[in-house]
Structure 1
Amino acid sequence: MTQNIDHESDNAPSITAATLAGDGQALAYFEKHGADTVEHSFAIANILHIHSNVKEASFFYRRALDLHSKSQTEYPLPQSLLQVRLLCLLKASEALPEEEILELEEYSFPQANYIRGIRAAWRENNFDESLKLIGNCFEEFHSGEEIDRLYLEIALRWIRSFGEDGFPKSQPQIPHHLYMYWDANPPVEISENIEYHQNMLGDRFTIFTRETATKWLYDHYGKEASDLFQQVRHPAEGADLLRLHVILAKGGWWIDADLRIKSDAEWNALATIPTTCQLFTTDNYVLHNDFFGATASHPVIANALMTAWANMFRHPGLYIAFKTGPGVLNRAVSRALFQSLELKAQLPVLRIDDQARFNDFVEEYEVHYKGNASWHSQ
């Protein structure tokens, strides 16, 4: 028998354990806070969404919107709530209420077309129409939000390739040099990984510390870049900024300190890839920034760095992965694809491979520092 846990007025829909998908975390939150405010309904919706209870999440996003003042100064904004509600309905294979799409259009025409575009891809397998509808409405969102991942997935389906066809190829090769960063005092396993790469690559490997990175940025980009690096709120954020600056200036490959090139054979294979920018996606279409390569001055890396700088000043509290991490690479690729598809600009030479291909070249190995809240890995 479903327990009724209604905390609401007589006019509001009853909220039951079923409404909360039997989600223990959502149930606990509801019992403690109820769902009488935008904040609490939104929090419950996010818990449900994270746990893939998307139909139930859509209910609470709608509830948050109904409680909302509809002011453009109250956060989350009404269009954000309605957009994510409709996206959850799509994920749940539920019908989209046309009146709600029109309601979203009144707040934000681009976001309404985003929903229409996702529907065209998911429900109609019409990727061409989907890309036209979505256009560049990713600009309405922070870098790294879900729209960039969905846009990339749809674009790759449309291109029907992870770099073998559809992406331009080139003769110039990515400089055969590997870069890594650890801010200071590496634990034993990181020291061993650094030594492994030094032994395998010799002078084709550069390891930065916080001290050497600060000086390198000062010498290559100036005082502002060096100061910005020193002021980051977390070592991972500093590593994110450093990797973009280094690859933009010098070209080459970046690898995080908890990854390693599998062998000489895989390292040598990287030298034969006919592209000036090699990226890899996770299975969820997040672009890896823990291992990638590009030539110096590549436009995708330049755009990613521009976004990271802008985020540092405009959105200092943004989640690091969105602010300076993989999100800025996803946004840069979204822009390049849009400009090629809609503005007829030449697509930069670019290759995007999948997670399986990523695993061909590098491997992750167990480290212990991540269990420590003060870890400094990049």
Structure 2
Amino acid sequence: MLDINKIREDFPILKRKVNGQPLVYLDNAATSQTPKQVIDVIVDYYENYNANIHRGVHALSQEATDKYEQARIKIQKHFNAAKTHEMIFTSGTTHSINLVANGFSSLIEKGDEILVSAMEHHSNIVPWQMLCERTGAVLKVIPMNQEGELLMDVYNELLSEKTKLVFCNHVSNALGTINPIKKIIDKAHSVGAAVLIDGAQAAPHIVADVQALDVDFYTCSAHKVCGPTGVGMLYGKEEWLKKLPPYQGGGEMIAEVTFEKTTYADLPHKFEAGTPNICGGIAFGAAIDYMNSIGFDQIAKYEHELLLYATQELLKIEGLKIYGTAKNKTSVISFNIDGIHPYDIGTILDKLGIAVRTGHHCAQPIMDFYKIPGTVRASFSFYNTKGEIDTLVSGVERARKMLV
């Protein structure tokens, strides 16, 4: 069993008050909180070895380079990539997806087909729409049902020899659904299509083994896994990363530059133009260490308990409906109350010190599917408690009585 009280001591922000009330932070699907162990790594970098990397012979540069590349190795091992250079540091999942979409502009032709799921974040929709506009490719959508599960039989029908790319999130940010990505990947490969999986929402809950999945590209952001904002990673199979052209030009990504011709650096530096978020990369590695010290199996079990308890208690509230009731889901609950706008509920909860997310969660097609303007989303992490869920339920009931 996790020692939740001891874990909560690692997170200084959980001690603060909001509007005079103890903070109840239930917006983890947007950004997780950062433990002292990661904050200390950030402070240590700026206090003791702040320097640019890969280019300096002096001691600080070498120390920063070593720490940065050690972080890359930690992330490689966590996701079980075969080679360290298959892990590309980016500014986050959105950057990673755009990097791949831009690269495929030279590999996709008019009439080729691209499949995305109906429950994608805008970051895994818009770049592919832009790719289709540039190339004349056709975007097709894998539909979902009322429970928030993908219709796999329709997916099978959509696949054809024209399918070149398939994109799907591992976990829906709006509904919490865990998608059957291994089946999706295997089916796509059977017609010769490449697959990118958006792992932003899965990374805090599930350790993705990219070799076992046989996925072509996998992405995530550090700030979802107790790390800092502004840094993330793209895993890509070496064969694909070699095919894609660089996303940006500049320092670090070159082998040789003349005014007549430039040759590009080897992986991973080919995709890492300019000075990176050095401190962020190092802290990303520290966050992975911290999460693994807690244990992902333990995290998953505890968060599932929180999900079941919160679902049970919230459904006792008159007029409350939960969107996303898939059999396999992470600790996310999106809900509305009949006749009340989600924003109004969120505003009242904020006055009570309860942080939830309201709106369409950058997943407008999902809201259109359910014919709603948005939802209230409560998302739980391993440092949350059942007592905090009780506070949430009381707050929602109070909001209902005020607004009905």
TM over 0.5: no
Tell which structure's C-alpha radius of gyration is larger: 1
Task: Say which structure is richer in helix.
Answer: 1
- What is the TM-score of this pair, normalised by structure 1? 0.28
TM-score of the aligned structures, taking structure 2 as reference length: 0.27
Q: Greater relative contact order (Cα 8 A, min sep 6): structure 1 or 2? A: 2
